[in-house]
Amino acid sequence: MRVELSQAFEKMAGRPCLEIYLQGPTLMREVLELLARECGVFNKYLLYQDDALLGAHLSVFSSGKFLKLDDPVYDGDTLKLFLPVTGG
């Protein structure tokens, strides 16, 4: 699975993308754990065990939709991670 990072995450992680191998369908909440192991920048997002709470701090987009914590992710997927847009 390819994880493309927005510019803000790229600066924190020091690279534009991550490659993670999944051994079958994996829930997005488990993918976050794998991301945190690969790159410590994502450790703080493990604290958000609620979709609304996570969505206020991290947006994950794949296959034309925003992913929720219990959505399955597959090895061939490409995820795009970015900070949510805020302002008024």
Domain ranges of the chain: 2-82
* Predicted structure pTM score: 0.89
Residue environment code for 35-50, b if the CB has 16+ CB neighbours within 10 A, otherwise e: beeebebbeebeebee
- Per the rule left: phi > 0, alpha: psi between -120 and 50, beta: everything else, 61 is beta
pLDDT band at 84 (very low <50, low <70, confident <90, very high): confident
CATH fold group of domain 2-82: Ubiquitin-like (UB roll) (3.10.20)
pLDDT band at 80 (very low <50, low <70, confident <90, very high): very high
The Cα 43–Cα 83 span in angstroms is: 15
Tokens found for residue 71: 């959505």
Average pLDDT value for residue range 29-57 = 94
